[in-house]
Amino acid sequence: MKGPAQLTAAILAAAALLPAITHAQLFSLTKDQMVDFTAQNPFERFPDGRPKVPDALIERARAMSSEEVWAILPGKGFRSQYEDGFQILHPGKKLVGRAFTLQFMPLRPDLDGVIQAKAQAAGQGRMYNQTAIDMLQPGDVLVVDLFGQGEGGTIVGDNLFYYIMKATKGAGLVVDGAIRDLEGISGMDMPAYFRRAHPSAISNVIISGINVPVRIGKATVMPGDLVFGDSEGVYFIPPALVQPIVDNADVIHIHDEWTRLKFDEGKYKSRQIYGTPTDPALKKEYEEYLKKRLEEIRKTYK
Amino acid sequence: MKGPAQLTAAILAAAALLPAITHAQLFSLTKDQMVDFTAQNPFERFPDGRPKVPDALIERARAMSSEEVWAILPGKGFRSQYEDGFQILHPGKKLVGRAFTLQFMPLRPDLDGVIQAKAQAAGQGRMYNQTAIDMLQPGDVLVVDLFGQGEGGTIVGDNLFYYIMKATKGAGLVVDGAIRDLEGISGMDMPAYFRRAHPSAISNVIISGINVPVRIGKATVMPGDLVFGDSEGVYFIPPALVQPIVDNADVIHIHDEWTRLKFDEGKYKSRQIYGTPTDPALKKEYEEYLKKRLEEIRKTYK
Amino acid sequence: MKGPAQLTAAILAAAALLPAITHAQLFSLTKDQMVDFTAQNPFERFPDGRPKVPDALIERARAMSSEEVWAILPGKGFRSQYEDGFQILHPGKKLVGRAFTLQFMPLRPDLDGVIQAKAQAAGQGRMYNQTAIDMLQPGDVLVVDLFGQGEGGTIVGDNLFYYIMKATKGAGLVVDGAIRDLEGISGMDMPAYFRRAHPSAISNVIISGINVPVRIGKATVMPGDLVFGDSEGVYFIPPALVQPIVDNADVIHIHDEWTRLKFDEGKYKSRQIYGTPTDPALKKEYEEYLKKRLEEIRKTYK
Amino acid sequence: MKGPAQLTAAILAAAALLPAITHAQLFSLTKDQMVDFTAQNPFERFPDGRPKVPDALIERARAMSSEEVWAILPGKGFRSQYEDGFQILHPGKKLVGRAFTLQFMPLRPDLDGVIQAKAQAAGQGRMYNQTAIDMLQPGDVLVVDLFGQGEGGTIVGDNLFYYIMKATKGAGLVVDGAIRDLEGISGMDMPAYFRRAHPSAISNVIISGINVPVRIGKATVMPGDLVFGDSEGVYFIPPALVQPIVDNADVIHIHDEWTRLKFDEGKYKSRQIYGTPTDPALKKEYEEYLKKRLEEIRKTYK
Amino acid sequence: MKGPAQLTAAILAAAALLPAITHAQLFSLTKDQMVDFTAQNPFERFPDGRPKVPDALIERARAMSSEEVWAILPGKGFRSQYEDGFQILHPGKKLVGRAFTLQFMPLRPDLDGVIQAKAQAAGQGRMYNQTAIDMLQPGDVLVVDLFGQGEGGTIVGDNLFYYIMKATKGAGLVVDGAIRDLEGISGMDMPAYFRRAHPSAISNVIISGINVPVRIGKATVMPGDLVFGDSEGVYFIPPALVQPIVDNADVIHIHDEWTRLKFDEGKYKSRQIYGTPTDPALKKEYEEYLKKRLEEIRKTYK
Amino acid sequence: MKGPAQLTAAILAAAALLPAITHAQLFSLTKDQMVDFTAQNPFERFPDGRPKVPDALIERARAMSSEEVWAILPGKGFRSQYEDGFQILHPGKKLVGRAFTLQFMPLRPDLDGVIQAKAQAAGQGRMYNQTAIDMLQPGDVLVVDLFGQGEGGTIVGDNLFYYIMKATKGAGLVVDGAIRDLEGISGMDMPAYFRRAHPSAISNVIISGINVPVRIGKATVMPGDLVFGDSEGVYFIPPALVQPIVDNADVIHIHDEWTRLKFDEGKYKSRQIYGTPTDPALKKEYEEYLKKRLEEIRKTYK
C-alpha cells in the first residue's frame, strides 16, 4: 500500500527514503549455460532455456505431501532440496509451480553504480524488484533469496503481490526474507512462504542474480525446479525427478488407503499391517489391491 | 480463573504463594508534567492531562494497515514507534485506542515496603495490577511493560480480561509479558497482543509507574498515544501525527484501488503502473481518479 | 505415508535408509516396582501396575484449564509437572488421558545390538516404535521423550497416527520431538502436541524405556499420570491429586461465573469483587451462590 | 576513538550522523525521595541522598564470590538482584562499587524536544551521556539500562571509558547494552560488564533517568546499591545487607579452608565432612577452628 | 563455598532453601546387566562390571584431537558420541578418563518420597549428589545429565570440585548443566565442561540413575566409555574402539608431520601433497617415512 | 589432521565418507568484468584484474580499530561492510589483507556432475576447496561463504591452515562457516575468524564461485577489498576508501592522545574536552597539537 509520492506532502516525506533502494543484476546465465547446468531436464524449455515441467505433472503433484517427496530425493543423493521454518500465508493450500529465482545482496554503492549504469546503457531503466517481477510467466513460483532479512527485506506489498498473482495465475511466492501488507495480502488467493512480515519497504539491497542457482536456507534451488510446498515446508525438485516422485506418490496413497481399511477392521496390531504385511495372504491381498487401484487411478490421467 | 482463597483447602495451598505478589507505583506525572511532555497534542485532554485522540479519528484509523503508519512516521524522525513479535489473540481484528501505560519492575522487598506504606498512608490500599486496571476509560488500550516475563509476568487472567473489556468498551491490551487463562480469553471479543501465555499468576513484580513513558521492546510509548495493531504488529502514534496519517491512508487506499483496476486490465507490466504511472496520460487519469475518490470518501466523514 | 518397500524401485531407494532405524528397550519396571513408585495412587491399576485414573474423572477434567491445575500443584510441591512450547494440532480441543510413556536415546550400535538380540531371544521380534504403539489402551496418551529432535525424531506419520487414534479412542499424543505427514494428520480428530513437523522418517534412535519415568522438557512424567493439555501447554498430574484438582476447578468455575455477573452489573470496580469481595454483604452473597451452584453441579456427577 | 569533527572532511562525513544522538532526563528523585526510597540504608549519604556504602566494606567485599552473596539474598526475599550473560572485560578482576544508575529509552523526537528545551532553560546545555558521566564520584560503578541494544547502544568508547576510570578511581561499568573501541579499552584497568561491543556511536536514544531505580535484565537496581561482579555475573546488593553478607563470607571462607584441609587428609568421604561434619568430634573440631580463624581475620579489619 | 548452616544466622536463612534439594536413584544396572550391555568391552572391569580402559591407553589418548576420534567413529556407525557447546574451564588442558555417569530428573515429591524411603531402608542415608561423588575412582570422569539446567542445576561448587579432583586424580567433569563457584574453581587443575556457571545451589532435582546410559545433548554415554575432550568438544568412545583410534592417531600425526615438512619446502601446491601425494615418487617417500616413524613412535610405548 | 587413506584400515573406513565431498565453481568474473565491477579501484591490479591495495597501506591499516573504519564508511553510504559474531582465533592479533573470495552452496548432484565434467574437460582435475586454496597470494585473506554451516562446513583443518599461512604470509582467514582441528590450529600464527569449530570434514557442498562478490552475514564482499579485523569484528573496505580511512585514523589517534593528556590533568569535566573543546583557547591548543603530531607521524611513512 505504498502511496503515490507526487501527491501529498505526507507521502513526500516517506519518499525521501527511496533513493536508498537500489537494485541491479550481477549474475545471469546465457541460454546455453542454462541448458548445460540443467542438462538432465527431460522436458521442454522456455525460450531462455529454463526447464518447463509440464502442466499435467504440476496438477498431479498437487495431491502429494512433503513425505512423498522425501521418500525419493535423499535416496538419490539430493539432501539439500528441503527448507522449512516459514510463515505460511494459507497453510491449507498447496504451493506447486516452476521456480523463477531471484538473488539479492546487501547494497554496496560502488557495485550498485556499475550495475545501474549497465542497465541504463542497455535501455532497461533501473534494475529493481519489479524488473524481475515483470518477467514472470503463468505457473511460475517466485523464489527469492533475501538472506532472511526482515526490515528492508520485503520483496512485495499487496499491490505487487496482486500483480504476481495475476501474472503467474496464482502459482506462488517463496522468500527467504519478508513481505509487507500482510493485512491486505491475507485475502488474496495465492500461496506464499516467508520468514516474517514487516511494514517497511524493500531497501539497502541490490539484485545480484535473476534465474541463477540460489540458496534458500539449506536448499539449493535451480531455475525451473518444481517448487512444492505444504503445511510443513517447501521442496525444490529437479525436473528429472518429478515423474518418479508423482508416480511413487500414487503407490503411497494406495498403501495408506489399504492400511487404514485394515486398521478399521480392528483385528490387527499395527506391526501386522504396516509397513509390509507380515502374513503372506495379507501381503498378496495388498498387492492385488495396489495393482487394481493403480490401474483405476492412472486411467484418470489420460 | 484464580479461585476464592477462603473457601477450600486446595485453594488455601495456592494462596500461600500470594504474599510474594507485591505491587507499587514509583513514577507518575503531575497534570502539568503530562501536559508539558505531550505539548504537541492537538486534541482535548483527560482530567489528568492525558491526550484524548477524538473518537472519530479512532474510527477512521480502524481502516488502516501498519504500512500506512510506516509511510509517515520514519520520515518525521519517529523510528521507535513500532513493535512486533507478539502472539495476537484475534489476528483478524484491529486494535485501535488510546494508550494507558503501566510499568513493572522485578520485586525488591525494600522498595516495595516503602511504596505500600505510601499507598496505605494515602488511603489507596495495596498497589497492584487492579489498582491501574480500575482506572481504565472507554477507548483505552492498556499498554504494559512486564519486560517480556512469562511465568509470573501474567498481567491478567480471564476475569480481569473480562473486566477490561467491559471498562474500555473492548479497546484492547498490549503486554510485553504474558497473560493467563488463554482458553477462557479466546472467546472474548477484545484484541490483545502478548508475548506468551502461562498458567501462573502475576508475582515477584512491583508497579513502578502508571501513565508514564514506557518501553515496549524497541518502542517508546507515551500515555495518550494512539495504539494501532494489525496482524503484523503494533504502532504507537503520537497524537499530533494521527490526522496526517489517516488522511494519507485515504490516498494510499485509492492508489491501491486504481493500481489493481489497471492490473486487472492485463495490458501493463507492473512498472508501467506502480508506484507512479510512467505514461503522462495514465498519470493524469490516475490524478483525476484520486481527486474524485477522495471527495467521495471524505464526504462520508462529515 | 511411508510406502511398501517391496513394490517399486523408487521406494526401494528410500528403504535403503531403514537399517539405520534401530529400536530397543533398556529400562522397564516390574509390576512391583511400578506399584512401589506410584504408591500414592488412590485408584485401580492396569495389569502391569500402571495407575488407572477412572473414566469419570477423565471426563470431568475435560472442563478444566491449565490455570486450574496450576492452582493446586505448586502449592503441593509439584513444580515440575508443566511444559509448553509445543505446536498444537487442534488448539481448540482438550487433551485428557492416562500417560503411557516412551523414552528414546540417540542410537549406539553396540547398545542396539545387545537389545535387539535380547528382543529376538524373547520372541518379540525387532524393538521399534510400533512395539510400544501396539501396547496402547483406550484412554492412553502416548508421551514420548525424543529429546526435541526434528529430523529423524518423528514418532509417527499419518498411518501410525491413525492407528493410535483408533487404539486409544482418540485420547492423544505428546512428543518432545517431531511428527511427519502433518498434511495428512491435520484432518484426524485426536489432540497432539509436538515440537515440529518434519518429512523424514524416525531414525538413529533406540528405545531405552517403556512405561518408565520420562522427562518432557522440564517436567517429570510417570506412567499413569493424568495428562491434561489445553491451548497453553500440557500438565502431567499425579493420580493422587486428580480428585482435589477437579473438585477445586468446580469452585473456580463458579467464582468466575459470579464475578462476571457482578462485573456485568457495571456498578463495581474490579477490586471490590475480585479475588474476594471486600464488602461483607457481597462476600456473603457470593458464598451462598457458591454453595447453591456447587450442589447443582455436583448433582450432575452422580 | 571518535575524532574532532571540525578538522577533516572525512570526519565531517561521520559527524553528519550526530544530530540523531539526542539525550534527555525524564525521571529523577529529589533528595527527600531518594532518602524515602532507600530508607533502610544504615550508612552515610551523598549530598543528593544516595546511600554511601563505606570504603572499608567495599574493600572487604572484594574478597567475596557471587555464591557468598547468593547465600544471603534469596533467603531475605531479594530474588531480583543478580544478572549474568555479560561479556566481561577482565574476568579475573572483581567489580566492587556504589551504583550510579542511568536509564535510556528509544528516541522520540517529541519527548526529546521537551527535555532538551528544559535542559537549555536550566542552563545545563544538551542532555547526553556525558551529562551523567560528568557526575561520577570515586567508587561509583556506572550502571546503565540501554535495553540490550548493540548498534547505537554504545554507552562509551575508549576516551570516555578512560575518563570514567579516572573519575571513579577504576571502580567500573555495567551496561545492559554495548561499548565501542573494545580494542582500545582492553588495555585499561577498570572492570566492565557489557552485552556486546559494536563500532557504532550511541544514537537514537534519550536519557530518561539519572539515579533512579533501573532494570538490568531481571534485576532491579537502586542508586547506592553495592555492585559486585565476578567471573559469573553481577550482584546489586541493598546497602542494609552489605554488612551481613561480608560477615557471613568470612565464615564461608573459613569453612572452605577447613573442608579442604580435611579432604587433603584423604581419610574421609565427602559426606562425612561437607556441608556439616557428621561426627560430633569433627564437628567440634570445626567449630573451634572457625572461632579461632574468625578472630584472626576480624582482627585485621580494625 | 556453601557455609555451615548451624553457625550463623545468615546461613540459617539460606539453609531454609535446602529441604527442596532432594536426590534419589531410580535406575541402576546389576553387574550382569552392566556386563551384558557392554559386551564388546575388550578390557578388564571394575567390581561392578564397568569397563576399565587401561591406564596406558588413557595416557596415549592424551595426545589426540577430536578430529582423530571423528576419523573412525562415524565410519563404524557411531554417530551419537560427540557433543559440544560447553564452557570449558581450561581450554588448553585435555580431558581423558573413564565415564562415571549420573542422571537427574526434575523433582517430583511423590517419586522422591519413595526413593528416599528405599535409601533409608538400605542404610544409605539420603540420596543426593554426594552419594554418587563419594563412589568416584582414580581416572573417572563424572558425566552428569542435568538437562542443561542453569539455576538449580549446579552439580558442584568449589568444595566438591576439589573433592572430585582429589578422588579422580584430576581426571575431570562433564555436566549438561551448571557449576557454581566459578571464581574458586578457576584455580583448580582439573578439566571441566559445563553449560554455564550460576551462583545457586543444586535444587529441585532427583537422582534417577547412577552408572546407567545417559544422554548428554545428542550423545549417548555408557559407563566405562573413554571420555575425551579438547578445545572443540567432548567425545564418548566405546571401549572396543579405543585401541583402533589411538593407533590410527599415530598414523595421522606422522602424516601431518610429513605434510608440513613438504609444505615448508615451498615447492608444491597443496593438492600435490595433501591428502595423498599425486606423484608416485612422493607417495613412496611418504610411505617410507610413515613406516620409519611408526616404528620409532611405537617403540616408546613398550 | 585427516590421514592417508591408503595405509590403514581404520583410515579406509573414514575415507568412505569422502565421495560425498564434491566441489565445483559456477560463477566467476572475466578480467574485464572484474575491472568493470571494481572500477573505482585507485591501485594496481593482479593479473586477473583483482584490485591490489599496496603493501604500505596494509601496514598502516594494522594500527587502526573498527571504530576508525566505521567513522568513514556509513557516511559514504557503505552500510553493509561490517560483520561480527565470529569466534576469533587470536583476539589480540589484527587481521589485515586483500580479500580472496570463495562461495559455496549446498550440494546438488545434478549441478555437481556438470561442473566436475567441465573441470575435467578443462584439465583442472576435481574442483574442491584446495583448488581455490592453491590460488592464494601473499597478503590475501581467504573470505569464505559457507552459509554458517558447522558440521560439514569446515573449510580447513590444521594442514590446510598451515598451507594458507605459508602461502599468504600469515594474512588470514574469514569463514562464515567452520574450521576443524582447533587444537592444532591454536598454535599457528595467523588470524582467523569463524562461526565455530567442528571435528567433521567438509562435505555436502559445492564451490559456486571463486573471486566473485560474496555475502558474509550482512556484509557484501568484493574480491580485492581490504579485509580488516580486530577483537570486535571484521570490516570489508572498498579499495577507493582505504586511503581516506587510514589518513583519518591518524587524526583520531592524535585526538585520543590529546584528550587523555587533558583528562590526566584532572581539571576538566569530560564535556569540556571531548568531542571538541568548548573553550576557544583549548580548541586552539588542540589544533596546534594535531598539526604538529600529524607532521611527525606522517614523516615516518616516507
Look up the ipTM and state it.
0.91
CA distance C98 to chain B (A): 21
Q: Yes or no: say if B24 and B207 are a contact pair by the CB < 8 Å rule.
A: yes
pLDDT of residue B13: 32
Report CA-CA distances (Å) from F70 to F7, F51, F238, F249.
Answer: 52, 22, 13, 11
pLDDT of residue A121: 83
Three cell numbers written together for F83 = 560483520
Report CA-CA distances (Å) from C261 to B155, B166, B178, C264, D84.
Answer: 22, 12, 26, 5, 47
More confident residue, F258 or F300: F258
- Residues B120, E70: Cα–Cα separation, whole Å: 68
Element of type H or E holding B91:
none
Using one digit for the tens of pLDDT, what is the confidence trace for B170-229?
999 999 999 999 999 999 999 999 999 999 999 999 999 999 999 999 999 999 999 999
Q: Yes or no: say if E1 and D256 are a contact pair by the CB < 8 Å rule.
A: yes
One-character DSSP codes across C115-155: HHHHHHHTT---BSHHHHHTT--TTEEEEEE-TT--TT-B-
**How far is CA F63 from its chain centroid?**
16
Q: Who's near B98: CB < 8 A, 6+ residues apart?
A: B50, B51, B52, B53, B58, B137, B139, B140, B141, B171, B224, B225, B226, B227
B contact chains, 3+ CB pairs < 8 A = A, C, D
Cβ-defined contact of E248 to F166 (cutoff 8 Å):
no
Using one digit for the tens of pLDDT, what is the confidence trace for A247-267?
999 999 999 999 999 999 999
- Across chain A, what does the average pLDDT equal? 90
Element of type H or E holding E239:
none
Report CA-CA distances (Å) from E166 to C123, D267, F182.
Answer: 48, 11, 30
Is E127 a residue whose pLDDT tops 50? yes
CA distance D75 to chain E (A): 5
CA angle D215, D201, D16 (to 5 degrees): 135
Q: Is the peptide bond before B275 cis (omega within 30 degrees of 0)?
A: yes
Which of A26, A215, A238 lies at the smallest CB-CB distance from F110? Answer: A238
DSSP structural state of residue B274: S
pLDDT of residue C23: 32
- Residues C75, B11: Cα–Cα separation, whole Å: 9
Q: Which residues from chain D sit within 8 angstroms of residue B107, using beta carbons?
A: 79-80, 220
C-alpha distance across the termini of chain F, in Å: 45
Minimal-distance CA residue of chain B relative to C252: B3
Q: Yes or no: say if D52 and D137 are a contact pair by the CB < 8 Å rule.
A: no
Q: Which residues from chain B sit within 8 angstroms of residue D40, using beta carbons?
A: 110
Using one digit for the tens of pLDDT, what is the confidence trace for C77-93?
999 999 999 999 999 99
- Residues E219, E81: Cα–Cα separation, whole Å: 5
How many beta-carbon pairs below 8 A join chains A and B? 112
Q: What is the mean pLDDT of residues E2-17?
A: 35
D and C adjacent (3 or more CB pairs under 8 angstroms): no
Q: What is the mean pLDDT of residues F274-295?
A: 95
Three cell numbers written together for C280 = 461483607
- Residues A52, A63: Cα–Cα separation, whole Å: 20
pLDDT of residue A127: 83
Hey, of C6, C179, C183, C202, which one would you mutate to test binding to chain A, going by the most A CBs within 10 A of its CB? C183
Q: Which residues from chain F sit within 8 angstroms of residue D158, using beta carbons?
A: 256
Q: Who's near B9: CB < 8 A, 6+ residues apart?
A: none
Report CA-CA distances (Å) from A208 to A104, A146, A244.
Answer: 5, 11, 34
Q: How many CB atoms lie within 10 A of CB B243?
A: 15
- The residue with cell 509511510 is B71
Q: Yes or no: say if B255 and B290 are a contact pair by the CB < 8 Å rule.
A: yes
Using one digit for the tens of pLDDT, what is the confidence trace for C266-287?
999 999 999 999 899 999 999 9
pLDDT of residue C127: 83
Q: How many CB atoms lie within 10 A of CB D295?
A: 9
- Across chain C, what does the average pLDDT equal? 90
Which of A71, A75, A274 lies at the smallest CB-CB distance from C159? Answer: A274
Is B252 a residue whose pLDDT tops 60? yes
Strands C95-106 and C205-210: antiparallel
Q: Who's near D56: CB < 8 A, 6+ residues apart?
A: D301
Q: Yes or no: say if B263 and B270 are a contact pair by the CB < 8 Å rule.
A: yes
Which of F232, F266, F274 lies at the smallest CB-CB distance from D182? Answer: F232
Q: Which residues from chain A sit within 8 angstroms of residue C136, using beta carbons?
A: none
F contact chains, 3+ CB pairs < 8 A = A, D, E
Which of B7, B166, B183 lies at the smallest CB-CB distance from C230? Answer: B183
Cβ-defined contact of C78 to E208 (cutoff 8 Å):
no
- The residue with cell 508416480 is A247
Which of D77, D78, D105 lies at the smallest CB-CB distance from B213? Answer: D105
- The residue with cell 551384558 is E36
Q: Is the dihedral of CA B88, B89, B90, B95 positive or negative?
A: negative
- Across chain F, what does the average pLDDT equal? 90
Is C264 a residue whose pLDDT tops 80? yes
Element of type H or E holding E163:
helix E158-167
Q: Which residues from chain B sit within 8 angstroms of residue C65, using beta carbons?
A: 1, 181, 183-184, 199
Q: What is the mean pLDDT of residues B127-152?
A: 96
Residue B193, beta-bridge partner list: B88, B174
pLDDT of residue B25: 57
Alpha helices in D38-176 (DSSP H): 55-61, 66-70, 109-121, 129-133, 158-167
Which of A27-36, A192-201, B37-46 is predicted with the least confidence, judged by mean pLDDT? A27-36
CA angle E178, E179, E184 (to 5 degrees): 155
Using one digit for the tens of pLDDT, what is the confidence trace for A145-158?
999 999 999 999 99
pLDDT of residue A301: 81
- Residues C52, C43: Cα–Cα separation, whole Å: 6
Q: What is the mean pLDDT of residues A69-86?
A: 96
SS3 content of chain E, % helix, strand, coil (to 5): 40, 20, 40
More confident residue, F156 or F18: F156
- Residues C243, C249: Cα–Cα separation, whole Å: 10
- Residues D76, D78: Cα–Cα separation, whole Å: 6
Residue E98, beta-bridge partner list: E140, E226
Q: Yes or no: say if D10 and F71 are a contact pair by the CB < 8 Å rule.
A: yes
pLDDT of residue D25: 56
Cβ-defined contact of E160 to D70 (cutoff 8 Å):
no
B and E adjacent (3 or more CB pairs under 8 angstroms): no
Q: What is the mean pLDDT of residues F193-211?
A: 96
With an 8 Å Cβ cutoff, the interface of chain F facing chain A consists of 26-27, 36-40, 76-81, 105-111, 114, 147, 204, 206, 208, 212-213, 215, 218-220, 222, 238, 240
- Residues C29, C45: Cα–Cα separation, whole Å: 14
Report CA-CA distances (Å) from E280 to B216, D129, D219, E258, E293.
Answer: 69, 69, 68, 16, 20
pLDDT of residue F302: 64
pLDDT of residue B134: 95
Q: What is the mean pLDDT of residues F118-135?
A: 86
- Residues F15, E136: Cα–Cα separation, whole Å: 39
Which of A69-73, C245-249, D16-20 is predicted with the least confidence, judged by mean pLDDT? D16-20
- Residues F299, F302: Cα–Cα separation, whole Å: 6
DSSP structural state of residue B43: S
Reported as a pLDDT band with limits 50, 70 and 90, residue F106 is very high
Report CA-CA distances (Å) from E182 to D91, E144, E192.
Answer: 11, 18, 11
Cβ-defined contact of B67 to A180 (cutoff 8 Å):
yes
Which of A75, A256, A266 lies at the smallest CB-CB distance from C1? Answer: A256
Minimal-distance CA residue of chain A relative to C196: A232
By C-alpha distance, which of C174, C179, C245 is closest to C215? C174
With an 8 Å Cβ cutoff, the interface of chain E facing chain D consists of 1-8, 10-11, 13-14, 16-17, 125, 130-131, 133-134, 157-160, 162-163, 166, 180-184, 186, 196-200
Cβ-defined contact of C213 to E26 (cutoff 8 Å):
yes
By C-alpha distance, which of F2, F38, F272 is closest to F156? F2
pLDDT of residue F187: 94
Alpha helices in F80-175 (DSSP H): 109-121, 129-133, 158-167
Alpha helices in D172-269 (DSSP H): 182-185, 242-265
Burial annotation B189-225 (CB, 10 A radius, 16+ → b, else e): ebbbbbbbbbbbbbbbbbbbbbbbbbbbbbbbbbbbb
Hey, of B236, B264, B265, B270, which one would you mutate to test binding to chain A, going by the most A CBs within 10 A of its CB? B270
Cβ-defined contact of D5 to F252 (cutoff 8 Å):
no
Three cell numbers written together for D30 = 529529589
Which of B2-6, E175-179, F264-268, F285-289 is predicted with the least confidence, judged by mean pLDDT? B2-6
Q: Yes or no: say if F21 and F210 are a contact pair by the CB < 8 Å rule.
A: no
Is F40 a residue whose pLDDT tops 50? yes
Using one digit for the tens of pLDDT, what is the confidence trace for A118-146?
888 877 778 889 999 999 999 999 999 99
Strands A233-237 and B82-84: unpaired
Q: What is the mean pLDDT of residues B147-151?
A: 97
CA angle F270, F271, F273 (to 5 degrees): 70
Q: Which residues from chain E sit within 8 angstroms of residue D75, using beta carbons?
A: 13-14, 16-17
Interhelix angle E280-299/E242-265, nearest 10 degrees: 130
Q: Is the peptide bond before A184 cis (omega within 30 degrees of 0)?
A: no
Q: How many CB atoms lie within 10 A of CB D299?
A: 8
pLDDT of residue E10: 34
pLDDT of residue B204: 96
Is F159 a residue whose pLDDT tops 70? yes
Using one digit for the tens of pLDDT, what is the confidence trace for B80-133?
999 999 999 999 999 999 999 999 999 999 999 998 888 888 777 788 899 999
Is F21 a residue whose pLDDT tops 90? no
Cβ-defined contact of B255 to A4 (cutoff 8 Å):
yes
Q: Which residues from chain F sit within 8 angstroms of residue D180, using beta carbons?
A: 67, 232
Is B144 a residue whose pLDDT tops 90? yes
- The residue with cell 523414552 is C103
Alpha helices in F109-221 (DSSP H): 109-121, 129-133, 158-167, 182-185
Backbone angles phi, psi at E295, to 5 degrees: -60, -45
- Residues F211, F99: Cα–Cα separation, whole Å: 8
Give the three-state DSSP class for E219.
strand
Using one digit for the tens of pLDDT, what is the confidence trace for C151-200?
999 999 999 999 999 999 999 999 999 999 999 999 999 999 999 999 99
pLDDT of residue D123: 76
Residues of chain D predicted below pLDDT 70: 1-25, 302
Q: Which residues from chain A sit within 8 angstroms of residue C199, using beta carbons?
A: 65-67, 69-70, 82, 232-233
Q: Which residues from chain A sit within 8 angstroms of residue C182, using beta carbons?
A: 230-232
Q: Yes or no: say if E151 and E171 are a contact pair by the CB < 8 Å rule.
A: no
